[in-house]
């Protein structure tokens, strides 16, 4: 009983420290982003209101500025920070609408695209790694296992363009404009999945390799298990943990890939929003996107870390 | 970004059959890099065409003997544009790697050798850098500095600082524990002197492998930024820009996007291959 209480306390302490660390990283990311974007020489207010046709005097522009950011810089920082904590990210200078609204409009599209792409990436990675590390013919094996390094080297925007060229213009399988929701999703998902699948495939293949050299594998084989049984039941299970780590790390790739993919395929989403924000120097939107992306990245990787002991009893015993 | 293990590590020792060919790959990879370097240094050797002046009568010609990569909408030779464009991509990637290598290694050296609070602080900064997706980080830097070739290169470099810092810190921590460093301290070496003479040179191997890898990554990222319109300005024949310009002629002129993209893939692949072989020569994984 006492032992159990000690254990629970230890786990709670571990959880708290990890969550605290994540919160600290996020706060630092917010502050750094806020400070950097404050340094801008020309800002969105000037871009939008400087046009002589509007006939605004510098005094009036200053008034507009104080409307967007009244008070001292430090107060503004505190206000922005508490706003973020309450889930309100201020107003887009470009459109004048709340940033939350713009994010809310863009997020579902990107979420659909990114989640479908991530699933496809997992499938591609598993197929490459399993087939590669299990084929007996050495040249097939070599060819399959070098696929990921090829996939890493392909620019995502170029891949998207190639896919449009081949499937939309040559084979006429996918309509460029129009078509059902699903049809419109196929090529973008493929474009985004390829760069994400490569690191996952690499790590999965090398962990399968590593686990295969461990002594318990010949023991299981000697007991008469088939190659696929060993791979599935024993090797793959042990190779899951490093693969999960790298899958969590590809989240950044997923976000970056969305920006490119949405631009190439003309889809609305977070990526498009980011691009517009960069062009208009719309700092509130950009800050919100950066902090949200960082937050999601930290959260995903925190969850992956916390899942480790759940999935692997050995780690549970150790901690 | 952290790379998974290169093949040929301890994992594959058990099965001698599948050790990848050590020769062959790197030779080809070095050849690709050498040719690209020559393109950048003496473009006149490879093409007689002007990359900027077009012959309107020869617009949108498919590849043939006279124009190996075809011509674009104003009749400019695409191969000439790719050859002359290499200098932008290579120098940009060089700047990006230099920024990441210098800043990252300095941070890593500082954190790894000082230890304690300073180490903690530096590594938290690295955590923050790692938490923001690379492209968003680069875009933030571009909003700050404005678009342009050099600014885009710096933006890409900032994105790789974290990777260099982490790796070099790990190496410094490893080297510091070795006996020869203890011996150097024991025989009266000053802190900075031992750091400079012993710790730094011995921790650089994997860092150089990472630099080779980042060189390819930087070319990729730079072409992405110019594709999005934040890098070089037209009519500069930058690779990403070439692909972006070719987009308007997708239905009719496949070569305008396909061939420059293939060149990018070849160079990035070669850089990755070299990185892996450098990493293996160091007896450690390629970053």
CB contact under 8 A, B7 and A145: yes
Residue A11 lies inside a defined structural domain of this protein: no
CB contact under 8 A, A210 and B11: yes
CB contact under 8 A, B243 and A26: no
| Per-residue model confidence (pLDDT) at position B62 | 78
Do A103 and A84 contact (CB within 8 A), yes or no?
no
Tell me the chain B residues in contact with residue A255 when contact means C-beta distances shorter than 8 Å: 133, 135-136
Residue A58 lies inside a defined structural domain of this protein: no
Question: Mean of the pLDDT values across residues B253-274?
Answer: 86
Question: Mean of the pLDDT values across residues B48-60?
Answer: 74
Q: Give B78 to chain A, closest Cα distance, Å.
A: 16
| Per-residue model confidence (pLDDT) at position A35 | 81
A151 lies within 8 A of chain B by CB: no
Q: Give A252 to chain B, closest Cα distance, Å.
A: 4
Question: Mean of the pLDDT values across residues B38-43?
Answer: 82
| Per-residue model confidence (pLDDT) at position A52 | 66
Residue B19 has pLDDT above 70, yes or no: no
Say which of A40, A212, A255 has its CB closest to residue B143. A40
CB contact under 8 A, A33 and B140: yes
Helix axes A283-311, A270-280, angle to 10 degrees: 140
Residue B11 has pLDDT above 60, yes or no: no
- Which of A156-160, B157-161, B189-193 is predicted least confidently? B189-193
C-alpha of A203 from chain center: 18
In B231-260, the residues whose Cβ lies within 8 Å of chain A are 240, 243-244, 246-247, 250-251, 254, 257-258
Mean predicted lDDT score pLDDT of chain B: 80
Structural domain harbouring A181: 113-318
A114 lies within 8 A of chain B by CB: no
Tell me the chain A residues in contact with residue B272 when contact means C-beta distances shorter than 8 Å: 149, 152-153
Query: In the structure, what pLDDT confidence band is assigned to residue B10 with cuts at 50, 70 and 90?
Result: very low
Residue A53 lies inside a defined structural domain of this protein: no
- In what helix (H) or strand (E) does residue B86 lie, and over which residues does it extend? helix B78-114
Residue A8 lies inside a defined structural domain of this protein: no
| Per-residue model confidence (pLDDT) at position A13 | 84
In A218-237, the residues whose Cβ lies within 8 Å of chain B are none
In B142-181, the residues whose Cβ lies within 8 Å of chain A are 142-144
Residue A24 lies inside a defined structural domain of this protein: no
B187 lies within 8 A of chain A by CB: no
Tell me the chain B residues in contact with residue A260 when contact means C-beta distances shorter than 8 Å: 135, 224, 227-228
Q: Give B127 to chain A, closest Cα distance, Å.
A: 7
| Per-residue model confidence (pLDDT) at position A97 | 81
How many domains does chain A fold into? Answer: 1
**pLDDT < 70: residue spans in chain A:** 1-4, 6, 39-53, 55, 65-73, 176-178, 317-319
In B52-91, the residues whose Cβ lies within 8 Å of chain A are none
CB contact under 8 A, A40 and B144: yes
Question: Mean of the pLDDT values across residues B113-136?
Answer: 86
Count the Cβ atoms, other than its own, within 10 Å of residue B15: 12
**CB proximity list for B100: less than 8 A, separation 6 or greater:** B157, B158, B159, B160, B161, B163, B164, B214
Domains of chain B: 69-286 (1.10.3720.10)
Say which of A32, A152, A283 has its CB closest to residue B128. A32
> CATH number for the domain including A262?
1.10.3720.10
Q: What is the pLDDT of residues B87-104, one digit of tens each?
A: 888 999 999 999 999 999
B269 lies within 8 A of chain A by CB: yes
Tell me the chain B residues in contact with residue A40 when contact means C-beta distances shorter than 8 Å: 143-144
Query: If you ran DSSP here, which 8-state letter would residue B248 be given?
Result: G
Residue B47 has pLDDT above 60, yes or no: yes
The more confidently predicted of residues A82 and B156 is B156
In A48-87, the residues whose Cβ lies within 8 Å of chain B are none
A273 lies within 8 A of chain B by CB: no
Do A31 and A39 contact (CB within 8 A), yes or no?
no
CA-to-CA separations, B120 to A14, B127, B170, in angstroms, rounded? 18, 10, 13
Residue A75 lies inside a defined structural domain of this protein: no
Say which of B5, B142, B224 has its CB closest to residue A206. B5
For residue B6, give the chain A residue with the closest CA. A206
Tell me the chain A residues in contact with residue B227 when contact means C-beta distances shorter than 8 Å: 155, 157, 260, 263
Tell me the chain B residues in contact with residue A152 when contact means C-beta distances shorter than 8 Å: 268, 272
Tell me the chain A residues in contact with residue B166 when contact means C-beta distances shorter than 8 Å: none
B28 lies within 8 A of chain A by CB: no
Residue A66 lies inside a defined structural domain of this protein: no
| Per-residue model confidence (pLDDT) at position B2 | 41
Q: Give B277 to chain A, closest Cα distance, Å.
A: 14
Residue A4 lies inside a defined structural domain of this protein: no
A197 lies within 8 A of chain B by CB: no
| Per-residue model confidence (pLDDT) at position B56 | 73
| Per-residue model confidence (pLDDT) at position B287 | 36
A174 lies within 8 A of chain B by CB: no
Q: How many CB pairs below 8 Å do chains A and B form together?
A: 158
| Per-residue model confidence (pLDDT) at position A180 | 75
């Amino acid at each position: 009983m006492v032992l159990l209480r000690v254990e629970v306390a230890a786990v709670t302490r571990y959880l708290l420290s990890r969550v605290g660390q994540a919160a600290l990283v996020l706060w630092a990311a917010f502050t750094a982003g806020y400070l950097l974007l404050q340094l801008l020489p020309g800002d969105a207010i000037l871009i939008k209101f400087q046009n002589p046709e509007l006939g605004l005097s510098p005094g009036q522009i200053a008034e507009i500025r104080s409307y967007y950011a009244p008070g001292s810089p430090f107060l503004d920082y505190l206000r922005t920070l508490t706003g973020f904590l309450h889930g309100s990210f201020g107003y887009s200078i470009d459109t004048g609408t709340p940033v939350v609204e713009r994010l809310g409009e863009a997020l579902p599209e990107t979420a659909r695209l990114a989640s479908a792409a991530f699933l496809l990436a997992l499938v591609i990675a598993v197929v490459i790694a399993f087939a590669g590390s299990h084929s007996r013919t050495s040249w097939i094996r070599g060819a399959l296992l070098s696929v990921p390094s090829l996939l890493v080297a392909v620019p995502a925007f170029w891949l998207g363009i190639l896919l449009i060229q081949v499937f939309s213009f040559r084979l006429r399988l996918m309509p460029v404009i129009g078509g059902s929701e699903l049809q419109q999703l196929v090529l973008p998902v493929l474009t985004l999945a390829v760069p994400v699948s490569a690191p996952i495939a690499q790590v999965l293949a090398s962990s399968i390799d590593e686990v295969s050299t461990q002594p318990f594998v010949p023991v299981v084989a000697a007991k008469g298990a088939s190659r696929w049984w060993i791979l599935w039941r024993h090797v793959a299970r042990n190779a899951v943990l490093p693969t999960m780590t790298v899958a969590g790390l590809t989240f950044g790739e997923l976000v970056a890939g969305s920006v490119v993919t949405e631009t190439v395929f003309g889809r609305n989403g977070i990526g498009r929003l980011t691009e517009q924000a960069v062009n208009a120097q719309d700092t509130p939107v950009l800050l919100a996107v950066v902090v949200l992306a960082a937050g999601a990245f930290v959260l995903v990787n925190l969850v992956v870390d916390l899942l480790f002991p759940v999935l692997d009893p050995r780690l549970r015993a150790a901690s | 970004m952290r790379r998974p293990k290169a093949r040929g590590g301890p994992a594959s020792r058990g099965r001698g059959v599948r050790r990848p060919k050590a020769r062959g790959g790197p030779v080809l990879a070095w050849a690709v890099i050498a040719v690209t370097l020559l393109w950048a240094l003496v473009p006149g050797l490879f093409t007689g065409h002007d990359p900027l002046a077009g012959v309107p009568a020869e617009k949108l010609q498919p590849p043939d003997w006279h124009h190996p990569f075809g011509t674009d909408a104003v009749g400019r030779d695409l191969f000439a544009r790719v050859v002359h464009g290499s200098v932008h991509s290579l120098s940009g990637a060089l700047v990006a790697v230099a920024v990441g290598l210098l800043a990252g290694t300095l941070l890593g050296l500082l954190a790894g050798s000082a230890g304690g609070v300073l180490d903690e602080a530096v590594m938290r900064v690295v955590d923050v850098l790692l938490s923001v997706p690379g492209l968003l980080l680069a875009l933030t830097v571009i909003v700050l500095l404005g678009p342009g070739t050099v600014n885009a290169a710096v933006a890409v470099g900032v994105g790789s600082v974290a990777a260099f810092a982490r790796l070099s810190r790990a190496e410094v921590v490893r080297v510091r524990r070795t006996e020869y460093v203890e011996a150097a301290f024991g025989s009266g070496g000053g802190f900075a002197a031992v750091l400079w003479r012993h710790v730094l040179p011995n921790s650089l191997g994997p860092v150089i492998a990472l630099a080779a890898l980042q060189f390819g990554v930087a070319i990729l990222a730079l072409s992405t930024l110019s594709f999005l319109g934040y890098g070089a300005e037209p009519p500069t024949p930058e690779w990403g820009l070439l692909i972006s310009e070719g987009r308007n002629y997708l239905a009719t002129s496949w070569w305008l996007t396909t061939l420059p993209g293939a060149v990018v893939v070849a160079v990035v692949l070669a850089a990755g291959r070299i990185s892996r072989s450098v990493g293996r020569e160091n007896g450690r994984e390629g970053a």
